Structure 1
């Protein structure tokens, strides 16, 4: 695994695919936001939870540039928080070695695309 890509993927999963972060936005609906806060409108709330640009870049790369088996492993590894590793391997339909090889391949693809974007 590439440590920097691992950190970016963890942040991506937390910001865009975590139930903890999804619950408080009320879908951007002002009335729903007021209902959540007992009738008080807190205007700065949505902006403070806007995803970082790097997370949006990762979302685009995962959805558009990774092969389906790599997407499956990335989503399973970073977005499925309450599953043990044996179940993760089974969900991806592969063994431990194949799982980690695919995860490493996904890191390499993401790293290569990010380097291309930065250059």
Structure 2
């Protein structure tokens, strides 16, 4: 797995689970809440910063549009669903080795798309 992509996917899962459905991706509510909590001062290094929210929204788009259904399933199982690893593999209907092979492929695909979008 790619550690940077792992961190981005963890942030994506946090935003996905914590956000509402105001903007379609559920990412807008957290920025407003963080601005209210900080009295209008946006700390760019905090988890609620606009840069990180934009990255989470980008990842949401990449996961939904550019991953195969199998890759999307393992990414969702790994980052959005709690529980034991064996339950994740069973939910995806694959072995441990196949699960991590698909997850690695998804990491590489997400990294590739992020690099394309940055260029």
- Which TM bucket (shorter chain)? 0.7 to 0.9
Residue in structure 2 matched with residue 45 of structure 1 by the alignment: 33
TM-score (norm 1): 0.74
Residue in structure 2 matched with residue 67 of structure 1 by the alignment: 68
CA RMSD of aligned residues (A): 2.0
The runs of at least 4 consecutive aligned structure 1 residues that moved more than 6 Å come to none
The 5 A counterparts of 1:55-94 are 55-81=56-82, 83-94=83-94
The 5 A counterparts of 1:1-119 are 1-16=1-16, 18=17, 21-22=18-19, 44-45=32-33, 52-81=53-82, 83-119=83-119
Structure 1 residue 47, shift from structure 2 partner: 5.3
Which consecutive unaligned segments of at least 5 residues does structure 1 have?
Answer: 29-43
Residue in structure 2 matched with residue 37 of structure 1 by the alignment: none
SS of 1:52 mapped into structure 2: helix
- Greater Rg over alpha carbons, structure: 1
Write out per-residue CA displacement over residues 54-74 of structure 1, whole angstroms, 9 at most, x where no aligned residue.
000000000000000000000
Structure 1 residue 46, shift from structure 2 partner: 7.2
Write out per-residue CA displacement over residues 48-95 of structure 1, whole angstroms, 9 at most, x where no aligned residue.
6677000000000000000000000000000002x1001100000000
Structure 1 residue 45, shift from structure 2 partner: 2.7
Determine the C-alpha separation between the residues in 1 that align with 2:54 and 2:35. Answer: 13
Of structures 1 and 2, the one with the larger relative CO (CA 8 A, separation 6+) is: 1
Which consecutive unaligned segments of at least 5 residues does structure 2 have?
Answer: 23-31, 37-47
